[in-house]
Amino acid sequence: MTDFNVFKNEQAVLKHAEDLLAKKTTKQQLESEYGALLASYKKLFKTSRRLLQISDKSEERLKDAHVRIKTQQQQLESAHQQLEMHAESLEDKVRDRTKALVAAQGKLEKLVELGIALSGERNHTRFMEMMMRGAKDLTLADGGLLFTRGDDDKLTVKILGIDSSDLHLGGSTGKVIPIDPLKLHDPVTQRPDYFNVICHAALTERTINVPNLDESKDFDFNWFNLLSDRYEFNPQSCLAVPLRPHKGDVIGVLLLINARHRSSGHTIPFSEEIEEYVEALASQAAVAMDNQLLLRAQDQLLESIIKLVAGAIDEKSPYTGSHCERVPEIGTMLAKAACEQEDGAFSDFDMSDDDWHEFTIAAWLHDCGKVTTPEYVVDKATKLETIYNRIHEIRMRFEVKLRDCTIEYLEDCLSGQHDEHGLKSRLDEQIKQLHSDFAFIAECNLGDDFLNEEKAERLNTIGQMPWMRHFDDTLGLSGEERTRLRRMTKPKLPTKAFLLENKPEHLIVRKNSVPEELYSRLGIKMPTPKYQYNLGELYNLSVSRGTLTEEERYKINEHVIQSIVMLENLPFPKHMSRIPEFAGGHHEAINGNGYPRQLTKRQMSVQARILAIADIFEALTASDRPYKKPKSLNDAIKIMSFMRNDEHIDAELFDLFLTSGIYRTYADRHLAKEQIDEVDISTYLFNPRHEGEPLSA
């Protein structure tokens, strides 16, 4: 380790001096040493003085450095203070900016939620109210009005809401808004009204933001005085936003009034930032609203086409007029009564807006298959009726037969071989019998009374009476008639014919075979007759009840099959997919003996069972059917009670039909006065209600 001693030289000098004194050094030696020592100290003094000067300068420099350091320290402290102040300011700005971003994010989230909700809302009224509430929530507006533009080029107020006045009109409130529509153009000069801020927004397709109505000179705000005077509301700021779908015409205007400060609640102008949000909302709402209007237009078009088809079906037959219109009326009343039940069999039954739309269309289309049913079958009022009443042919044959008898009488008189008096008695008897027989046939033709075996036998006897035909019955026939004429050879004329006949050409073969695969897929179980029609005279006159043959009855009943086939082939959306089932079940019986699917109650929807009752009641009370007399109200209810007892119609629905008074409401609207009699429903109720006792399920 190195020996380090700062006084080493001085110690050496002192030791050298002590050695000199100890050795008795001579004067000369001392002087020499003294001189050397003095020279060293001078040199040391000089060096010390130089060092002192250097030290003084260093001290000054140190003082200057200290001053500079202190100044820099003060500057650093000042800079630090400024940095602290800047940091605090920056923190405040960041905090404010964060709050603004959070608020903006909230508005964006609300805007997105509103957009999603608006796009999913199908009810137009709820849609408009939702849009209005959303816009007011975004802007904290006190008041808001929603205008829609009609085909008449006017802006009509659909929704009005003022929170401070607790005033809400239009929309689902059902309260009328007593404000006249705004005319976008002058009715005389056709000049656009740019002075009204609402019309201006619609005409220019741009947002109008008025911070202070009292100070603005750009518009005429007289219209706003109506709000002030009528609703004690003072408009101070407003924002008019046009509703315009992408690349479309303006379909309305959203007017927001009096933006409020979030904390104080004071009225403030609408900011430019919030204006952008409202425009974004208005854009989304306009697209959704335009889509809704298009859907409504499509629905209206569909309903118009449906009613057009239903009206055409009614017009096709003058004897079933308004049937397709009245059945939906009865069905709607009964369905509404079922929805309103709070206990009993229908306590859980309810229908949404889509369900009502689906049910209404099904009710209007329940008989759409009748377009395939010939009029002469639907309207068949007599047994011999086809396109015309063939009783006239039978009458002409009796006329010919009478003349044949008269000619035979005259010929016998001229021969002189018979007693003329006896011949006259025979002729009178023959004429009397012919009149009696024709009257009997004419009565049978009406189908009012049951045809028993005795009457059927008399028909056959009369039918075998011969008459002579002299003219060729193959002349003047259509191609189809010639095809049906199955004779191998023509009879030699004159030839014997009969008063009533069942001819081979009376049998009309089906042009198209029954689509068994389709019927099987649709669950159709109704048996199909061999022939499409049988026009045989004796065959038709021998119908025991009514006027329809088995083939004609099938053809009429087939309209339900055709309705199902037609409706199943239509591309209904999912929320309307049950229309074929509703419409195709109105001739089913809950015991499974109905047609065409032989469904039971468990297999039928409530809506289908409702339409079955509506269809029967309308048919029983209709006064425009040629084949029956209209039933009185009491008789119709009695017949339906028998059908209820036979499990043809739903017992609970029939009871509801009676207890709700629907039968009487409909009768007062559509039945003749002489049909409306008193009905004691207690005698017809299947499940009379007692206090607290619900209808059986």
Task: Quick: pLDDT tens for 421-432.
Answer: 888 899 999 999
φ and ψ at residue 528, rounded to 5 degrees: -105, 125
Q: Apex CA 690: angle with CA 687 and CA 696, to 5°?
A: 40
How much of the chain exceeds pLDDT 90, in percent? Answer: 35
Torsion, Cα 191 196 201 207, to 10 degrees, reads 150
pTM of the entire structure?
0.68
Confidence at residue 110, expressed as pLDDT on a 0 to 100 scale: 60
Residue 564 CA from chain centroid, whole number: 22
Residue 138: which of 170, 161, 104 has the closest Cα? Answer: 104
Question: pLDDT tens-digit profile of 662-673?
Answer: 999 999 999 989
Mean pLDDT confidence for 4-33: 71
Mean pLDDT of all residues belonging to the chain: 84
Q: Is the pLDDT of residue 342 over 60?
A: yes
Question: Which residues face 468 on adjacent strands?
Answer: 496
**Which run of H or of E encompasses 636?**
helix 633-645
Question: pLDDT tens-digit profile of 322-341?
Answer: 788 899 999 999 999 999 99
Question: pLDDT tens-digit profile of 270-306?
Answer: 988 888 878 877 777 777 777 777 777 777 887 788 8
Mean pLDDT confidence for 115-137: 73
Torsion, Cα 167 172 174 178, to 10 degrees, reads 50
φ and ψ at residue 464, rounded to 5 degrees: -85, -5
For residues 141 and 105, the model is more confident at 141
For residues 27 and 512, the model is more confident at 512
> Rg of the chain's alpha carbons, rounded to an integer?
54
Confidence at residue 137, expressed as pLDDT on a 0 to 100 scale: 83
502 with 538: CB under 8 angstroms? yes
Residue 365: which of 587, 609, 615, 583 has the closest Cα? Answer: 583
* C-alpha distances in Å from residue 10, one per residue of 6, 121, 413: 9, 109, 202
For residues 248 and 436, the model is more confident at 436
Confidence at residue 488, expressed as pLDDT on a 0 to 100 scale: 60
Mean pLDDT confidence for 39-60: 78
Q: Is the pLDDT of residue 627 over 70?
A: no
- Model confidence at 691, pLDDT cuts 50, 70, 90, reads very low
